[in-house]
């Protein structure tokens, strides 16, 4: 049996810039320089709690138990080492050899990031950036997404602002799949009270932190946007200088013990306003107010940016579209719940996954599309679609266990397939913990609670989703989720009202029509029930009684079946 073990470690790889040329010019001097540099490197590693585990010629490999310590050491090495070194930092899986050496993918990625770096500079992987907080993390700026040599994957890399930034020859351009990027500008203090400047700064920081939890959006660090404080610079100029697609501006005004916070989202490409909101409150609890506004803004921004990106993608030629844009187009089609649209969405998602097989959001949405095809019986080989739905869900969890939206989609897959009830609840709870400002996560959570028979919690969660994103394209889903909860509480009149509006928004969702039929059955409204049955038959050939996967509660399943029986004038089941 092998003595090797695996572990997660932060690796720092570095080498001497221009080593071969230096050696050729003066081998003896270069050898002496490397020998002296070795002591400097070992001292810096030790001071930051790390160790040198491998050396080869001018190359050094360092291990750290803390990602923050590794980043601090990396930039100290980049700044202080003479001759200049190139540095790469990555957090990943490694294999521990009996002699203490480390091998594996984590080491390889660090080495390849080092090769992309410049003399006197360091590149930090996105995996490392996601695990650190504080001033160092705030100073990290994206240098785009790099294609690593001899590896299929691409990786987003970051560099410390002000450290050899001009030395990068790699263009700061994101490779596929891209993320929409946003910069939160310093909030303007419109009050005469200078003390409100602290509140304005705190408001900007809280919103930046809330947005940074959203994995589908890249947020520029607040340290980079401070240069625009108190400067009348247009959004388009800021967009060009920071390389972002969207700008969030805000202002704070205090008067007579009350405060008004105004926020607006702007498209940096043309300066057009996408969204705006105003928040009025008292200053009784400043921190609670900042938290509440930040959470609300973050909840609205994600779907607002997503919708803007869908419009942007729609304007692009389909012959040259990247995986991200394909996924956005698919999301718009999935929302329609129509057979042809679902298959078209699945085709787009498969194309996206061909470009990037590790694209977790595409995997989760594709799994959801397969689950809906299975539930709606839109294919001959239903087992094939069920199998792919579960396979994509499993792969999505492995790739993005910290992505709130991905986990929300996967939780819904398990709900639709009537499988892994405990898993779906665990996933949605983790999603909410990761991003409590996600309107999608709150909506999906409400559906899960409604399906389990916890109606009051379900309604509260979906209403939270609606507050976070009142203009959401998901309103049809939100209304039908509350209707499901009200049905379980035998509040059939309320359910009918909600379902009527939901069906107007999404006429092809057959479950809504089945639930509406059951409501009319219990209300003994025969003619309305007949009309609902006729509409249902126009969009689905499945017997209504088989649409039970969205009821995790046995009593509610019987309630649904009895309602259908009453609507069809059949004796209720025992």
pLDDT tens digit string along 89-122? 999 888 888 888 888 888 989 988 888 887 788 8
User: What is the Cα 544 distance to its own chain's centre?
Assistant: 35
- What CA–CA distance (Å, rounded) separates 413 from 397? 12
Query: Are 480 and 509 contacting, i.e. CB atoms less than 8 angstroms apart?
Result: yes
Phi, psi (degrees; rounded to nearest 5) at 247: -125, 135
467-497: per-residue pLDDT in tens? 876 655 678 889 999 999 999 999 999 999 9
Domains in the chain: ranges and CATH:
5-167 (3.30.70.1230), 181-314 (3.40.50.10610), 319-436 (1.25.40.10)
320-337: per-residue pLDDT in tens? 356 777 888 888 788 777
Residue 521 has pLDDT above 90, yes or no: yes
Tally Cβ neighbours within 10 Å of residue 396: 27
Tally Cβ neighbours within 10 Å of residue 100: 10
- What CA–CA distance (Å, rounded) separates 224 from 514? 53
Reduced to 3 states (helix: H, G, I; strand: E, B; else coil), residue 59 is strand
Which pLDDT belongs to residue 171? 33
Q: Which residue did the predictor score with more confidence, 340 or 19?
A: 340
Query: Are 541 and 494 contacting, i.e. CB atoms less than 8 angstroms apart?
Result: no
Residue 273 has pLDDT above 60, yes or no: yes
- Range with lowest mean pLDDT among 25-39, 191-205, 304-318: 304-318
Length of the chain: 574
pLDDT band at 170 (very low <50, low <70, confident <90, very high): very low
**Mean pLDDT in the chain?**
81
Which tokens in the block code for residue 235? 């959004």
Residue 167 has pLDDT above 50, yes or no: no
Which pLDDT belongs to residue 282? 78
Which pLDDT belongs to residue 314? 46
Residue 445 has pLDDT above 60, yes or no: yes
Tell me the pTM.
Answer: 0.52
Which pLDDT belongs to residue 163? 40
- What CA–CA distance (Å, rounded) separates 572 from 558? 9
Q: What percent of the chain has pLDDT over 90?
A: 23
Beta bridge partners of 183: 247
User: What is the Cα 352 distance to its own chain's centre?
Assistant: 17
148-160: per-residue pLDDT in tens? 766 666 788 888 7
- Range with lowest mean pLDDT among 184-188, 219-223, 557-561: 219-223
Closest CA to 306 of 509, 477, 471: 471
- What CA–CA distance (Å, rounded) separates 226 from 159? 18
Residue 188 has pLDDT above 70, yes or no: yes
393-425: per-residue pLDDT in tens? 988 888 877 778 888 899 989 888 877 777 888
- Range with lowest mean pLDDT among 278-282, 457-461, 499-503, 515-519: 278-282
Q: Which residue did the predictor score with more confidence, 228 or 458?
A: 458
Which pLDDT belongs to residue 482? 95
Residue 318 has pLDDT above 60, yes or no: no
Average pLDDT in the 143-147 region? Answer: 73
Handedness of CA 505, 508, 510, 514 (dihedral sign): positive
46-59: per-residue pLDDT in tens? 988 999 998 877 88
Which pLDDT belongs to residue 104? 86
Average pLDDT in the 216-238 region? Answer: 74
Closest CA to 266 of 237, 295, 286: 237
Query: Are 402 and 215 contacting, i.e. CB atoms less than 8 angstroms apart?
Result: yes
């Amino acid at each position: 049996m092998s003595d090797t073990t695996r572990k997660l470690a932060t690796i720092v790889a570095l080498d001497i810039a221009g080593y071969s040329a230096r050696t050729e010019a003066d081998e003896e001097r270069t050898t002496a320089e490397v020998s002296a540099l070795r002591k400097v490197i070992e001292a810096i590693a030790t001071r930051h709690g790390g160790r040198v585990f491998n050396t080869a010629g001018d190359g050094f490999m360092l291990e750290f138990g803390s990602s923050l310590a590794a980043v601090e050491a990396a930039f100290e090495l980049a700044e202080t080492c003479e001759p200049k070194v190139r540095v790469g930092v990555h957090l990943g899986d490694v294999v521990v050899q009996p002699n203490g050496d480390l091998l594996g993918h984590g080491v390889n990625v660090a080495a390849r990031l080092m090769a992309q770096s410049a003399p006197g500079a360091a590149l930090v992987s996105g995996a490392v950036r996601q695990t650190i907080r504080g001033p160092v993390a705030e100073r990290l700026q994206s240098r785009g997404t790099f294609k690593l040599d001899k590896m299929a994957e691409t990786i987003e890399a970051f560099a410390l602002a002000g450290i050899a930034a001009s030395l990068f020859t790699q263009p700061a351009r994101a490779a596929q799949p891209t993320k929409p990027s946003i910069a939160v500008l310093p909030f303007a203090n419109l009050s005469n009270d200078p003390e409100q400047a602290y509140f304005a700064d705190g408001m900007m920081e809280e919103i930046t932190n809330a947005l940074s939890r959203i994995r589908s959006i890249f947020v520029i660090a607040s340290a980079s946007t401070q240069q625009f404080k108190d400067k009348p610079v247009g959004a388009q100029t800021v967009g060009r200088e920071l390389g972002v697609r969207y700008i969030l501006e805000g202002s704070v005004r205090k008067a007579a013990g009350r405060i008004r916070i105004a926020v607006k989202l702007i498209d940096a490409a043309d300066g057009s306003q996408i969204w705006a909101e105003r928040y009025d409150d008292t200053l009784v609890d400043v921190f609670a107010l900042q938290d509440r506004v930040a959470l609300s803004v973050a909840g609205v921004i994600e779907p607002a940016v997503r919708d803007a990106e869908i419009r942007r993608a729609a304007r692009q030629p389909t012959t040259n579209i990247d995986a991200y844009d394909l996924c956005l187009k698919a999301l718009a089609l999935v929302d329609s719940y129509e057979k042809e649209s679902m298959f078209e969405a699945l085709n787009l998602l498969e194309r996206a996954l061909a470009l990037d097989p590790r694209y977790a959001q595409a995997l989760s949405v594709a799994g959801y599309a397969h689950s809906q095809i299975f539930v709606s019986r839109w294919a001959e080989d239903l087992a094939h679609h069920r199998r792919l739905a579960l396979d994509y869900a499993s792969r999505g969890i492995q790739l993005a266990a910290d992505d709130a939206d991905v986990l929300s989609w996967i939780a819904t897959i398990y709900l639709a397939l009537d499988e892994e009830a405990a898993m779906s609840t665990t996933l949605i709870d983790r999603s909410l913990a990761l991003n409590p400002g996600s309107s999608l996560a709150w909506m999906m959570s409400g559906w899960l609670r409604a399906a389990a028979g916890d109606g009051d919690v379900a309604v509260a969660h979906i209403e939270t989703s609606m507050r976070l994103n009142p203009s959401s394209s998901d309103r049809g889903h939100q209304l039908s989720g509350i209707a499901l909860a009200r049905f379980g509480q035998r509040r059939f009149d309320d359910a009918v009202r909600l379902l009527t509006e939901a069906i107007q928004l999404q006429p092809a969702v057959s479950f809504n029509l089945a639930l509406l039929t059951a409501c009319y059955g219990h209300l003994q409204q025969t003619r309305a029930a007949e009309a609902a049955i006729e509409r249902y038959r126009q969009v689905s050939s499945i017997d209504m009684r088989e649409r039970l996967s969205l009821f995790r509660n046995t009593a509610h399943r019987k309630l649904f079946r009895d309602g259908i029986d009453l609507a069809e004038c059949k004796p209720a089941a025992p």
